[in-house]
Chains A and B, each alone.
Chain A
Amino acid sequence: MQSASTDIAARAIGIIDQFKGKEGPLLPILHELQGEFGYVPQETLPLIAHALNISRAEVHGVFSFYHDYRDHPAGRHVLKLCRAEACQSMGSDALADRARQLLGIDWHGTTTDGAVTLEPVYCLGLCACAPAAMLDGEVIGRLDAERLDEIAAEVRL
């Protein structure tokens, strides 16, 4: 029987091999790992370091620098709310407070039922239809309290 961690290692090595020939392969590898697993399993970092001939500290340094990479799985849904100025001008601060209250979590938190992770995002380029949000990669413009309430209910189904 294959253990879960050897399975992760095998899949990770496949991805690393696929990308390691590129110029500057580290970010593409981390993106692909996160795409595959939903997060970057920490046991894959030494594998990357070995394949790229850099230190494990360097890989960790890159992994931890970027906001996108997670070291544990997110909830089943990920709701990103834009916190930047254009959305602020259309009332995003109040919506963010409402979302945190509705879901009972703070930024970067995941509801205890594992339904949803709430993340701040600084601009989705939807500044002409603010406030903006992104739910599991789907863009949402002119978010209002009513739509937010619907989302909060939908993600918990």
Chain B
Amino acid sequence: MSITFYVPRDSGALALGAEKVAKTLENEITARKLDAKIIRNGSRGMYWLEPMVEVETPGGRVAYGPVKASDVAALLHGGLAEGRVHPLWLGLTEHLPFLSKQTRLTFARCGITDPVSLDDYRAHDGLKGLQNALTLSRAEIVAQVTESGLRGRGGAGFPTGIKWKTVLDTLAPQKYIVCNADEGDSGTFADRMIMEGDPFVLIEGMAIAGIAVEATKGYIYIRSEYPHAIAVMNEAIEVARKAGVLGASVLGSSYVFDIEVRVGAGAYVCGEETALLESLEGRRGIVRAKPPLPAHKGLFGKPTVINNVISLASVPVIMDRGAAFYKDFGMGRSRGTIPLQIAGNVKYAGLFEAAFGLTLGEIVDDIGGGTATGRPVKAVQVGGPLGAYFPRSLFDTPFDYEAFAAKDGLIGHAGLVVFDDSVDMLKQARFAMEFCAVESCGKCTPCRIGSTRGVEVVDRLSANIEPEKQIAVLTDLCNTMKFGSLCALGGFTPYPVMSALNHFPEDFRPAPIAVAAE
């Protein structure tokens, strides 16, 4: 019987040596004349175990990890092909607690299937959502998405169905679906993982969106920092075209829909939807004033659905299992599941998809296992570089759009970056301002100038020059940026700055220089 091995092609696994592992395994298979093949799957999202090699056994897939190229020969000798016990043996993959505790809806196939095999995708419930959508009217599809409670997973949390309805109701000869894959927030990698691990789910979600709002063309704007995601996405689009999932007749229907990948050029602000549209049109990534909304006048002035990768990739499961099924997960107005990305200084770093409602403490201490360094957790930045730093005293905050907003934070794209007690929060506040200054598009004054002044004020503060006065100026400056900026870059930079200042005041009031005591 032929043996099937799995070695991920996910960039996280590649960054830890998966390519060498795959090559070595291939050589060993040839040398040992084994009847075996290697599937380059996506990652299961347990990065402390990457590169994680799996083997198919009658009882299910068995995992080994983290595997180094130099381990491969010994692993094979020890019975890797039969899933036998070895020091790197982890047991049945599905039984690993980090995986078995998750609710994988959007990431159901990620790490399981061959990302570019459409047969594999179909065999794991792929395209069922699109098939269902083809039996419904446009308005019925939009109603399902609205009813599911799905909100924009890029961070803004705007109801996806309402956005779609606006585009559906706007008549125009040409409409567009734009997928925002400019995942620039530090601590986030869900978009990258799904594009590298299950690209067809994004293609399916975009096709459903196209059918729902009468758009025939989709663009995926992927950041240039993600070369592997770009390659896998392009490969999958080509496969989908050949199989008739995309093109002049979507799955044999009368609907037309095609997708093209566009690559960003290293501008963080292009993750803001209107700057992204400008960039797609071939201009500087300068934020547009709203209104008009992109749903009315978006790409090339045409009605445009612009959604984050995860929002679009969550649509197929909703159309397959129904709005009620999806809505059943979650809490309050945050329905469904959210792929938590647990990152930074944390023991068990990875992607954990769960219904909304876990507390920050459960995520960081129980699931993440505390810090990688073993020191106490001091702060967790939630929601990327524009997200607030949470202290331990707020660890009871449930992961939910409104609950985080109530604590002057945001869940953003659901990235969590853990810091141990060696972090200097004044330095983090300075970085937030510095980052905003580097990445500001320059259109509005509070962001463009405020961020530079912010760096200067924090520098005076760290030099202990009239600290109380600097704190007052910094607070005032943050207030101006928050309410006076055109987009979230200038508007949300105050979140990390003010949360650092409010929750960790000791780092902002350096001990008086001990001259007098000498």
| B507 interfacial contact with A, CB 8 Å | no
Residues from chain B with a CB closer than 8 A to the CB of A27 are 262-265, 279-280, 282
| A141 interfacial contact with B, CB 8 Å | yes
| B251 interfacial contact with A, CB 8 Å | no
Which residue of A87, A129, A132 has the most chain B CB atoms within 10 A of its CB atom?
A129
| A137 interfacial contact with B, CB 8 Å | yes
CA distance A105 to B226 in the complex (A): 26
| B187 interfacial contact with A, CB 8 Å | yes
Nearest CB on A from B331, distance (A): 26
Residues from chain B with a CB closer than 8 A to the CB of A14 are none
Q: Which residues 406-462 in B have Cβ within 8 Å of A in the complex? A: 415, 417-420, 423, 428, 431, 435, 438-439
| A139 interfacial contact with B, CB 8 Å | yes
Chain B, residues 283-300, CB within 8 Å of chain A (1/0): the string is 111000000000000001
B341 touches A127 (CB 8 A): yes
Known A-B contacts A25-B282, A128-B349; the reply to A142 vs B263 at CB < 8 A is no
Known A-B contacts A122-B186, A139-B14; the reply to A86 vs B282 at CB < 8 A is no
B188 touches A127 (CB 8 A): yes
B15 touches A126 (CB 8 A): yes
CA distance A106 to B349 in the complex (A): 31
Residues from chain B with a CB closer than 8 A to the CB of A129 are 12, 15-16, 47, 50, 349
Nearest CB on B from A131, distance (A): 10
| A156 interfacial contact with B, CB 8 Å | no
A127 touches B285 (CB 8 A): no
| B6 interfacial contact with A, CB 8 Å | no
| B268 interfacial contact with A, CB 8 Å | yes
B431 touches A88 (CB 8 A): yes
| A140 interfacial contact with B, CB 8 Å | yes
Q: Which residues 105-151 in A have Cβ within 8 Å of B in the complex? A: 121-130, 132, 134, 137, 139-142
| A39 interfacial contact with B, CB 8 Å | no
Nearest CB on B from A146, distance (A): 15
| B183 interfacial contact with A, CB 8 Å | yes
Known A-B contacts A127-B344, A128-B349, A129-B15; the reply to A86 vs B266 at CB < 8 A is no
Say which residue of A125, A140, A142 sits within 8 Å of B225 (CB atoms). Answer: A125
Known A-B contacts A27-B265, A68-B265, A84-B186; the reply to A128 vs B12 at CB < 8 A is yes
Q: Which residues 13-67 in A have Cβ within 8 Å of B in the complex? A: 23-28, 30-31, 52, 58, 61-62, 65-67
Residues from chain A with a CB closer than 8 A to the CB of B284 are 61-62, 65
B184 touches A24 (CB 8 A): no
Main secondary structure of the interface of B (DSSP, over half): mixed
Residues from chain B with a CB closer than 8 A to the CB of A125 are 11-12, 183, 188-189, 191-192, 225-226, 229
B417 touches A126 (CB 8 A): no
Residues from chain B with a CB closer than 8 A to the CB of A58 are 283
Residue in chain A with minimal CB distance to B196: A125
Question: What interface size band does chain B fall in?
Answer: 35 or more
CA distance A143 to B178 in the complex (A): 35
Residues from chain A with a CB closer than 8 A to the CB of B280 are 24, 27
Which residue of B228, B263, B282 has the most chain A CB atoms within 10 A of its CB atom?
B282
Q: Which residues 206-230 in B have Cβ within 8 Å of A in the complex? A: 224-229
B420 touches A122 (CB 8 A): no
Which residue of A66, A84, A123, A142 has the most chain B CB atoms within 10 A of its CB atom?
A123
| B272 interfacial contact with A, CB 8 Å | no
B439 touches A85 (CB 8 A): no
Residues from chain A with a CB closer than 8 A to the CB of B300 are 23-24
Known A-B contacts A125-B225, A126-B11, A127-B186; the reply to A86 vs B16 at CB < 8 A is no
| A90 interfacial contact with B, CB 8 Å | yes
B225 touches A89 (CB 8 A): no
Residues from chain A with a CB closer than 8 A to the CB of B351 are 128
CA distance A90 to B431 in the complex (A): 15
- Contact sample, A vs B, 27 pairs, CB 8 Å cutoff: A24-B300, A27-B264, A27-B279, A27-B280, A28-B263, A52-B282, A62-B282, A62-B284, A65-B267, A66-B285, A67-B266, A86-B344, A89-B418, A89-B420, A90-B345, A121-B225, A122-B268, A122-B439, A123-B184, A125-B189, A125-B229, A126-B12, A127-B189, A127-B343, A128-B349, A128-B351, A142-B15
> Using a CB–CB distance below 8 Å, which chain A residues touch chain B?
23-28, 30-31, 52, 58, 61-62, 65-69, 84-90, 121-130, 132, 134, 137, 139-142
Sort A-B residue pairs by CB-CB distance and give the 8 closest, nearest first. Answer: A26-B282, A141-B15, A84-B186, A66-B265, A127-B343, A67-B266, A128-B349, A89-B344
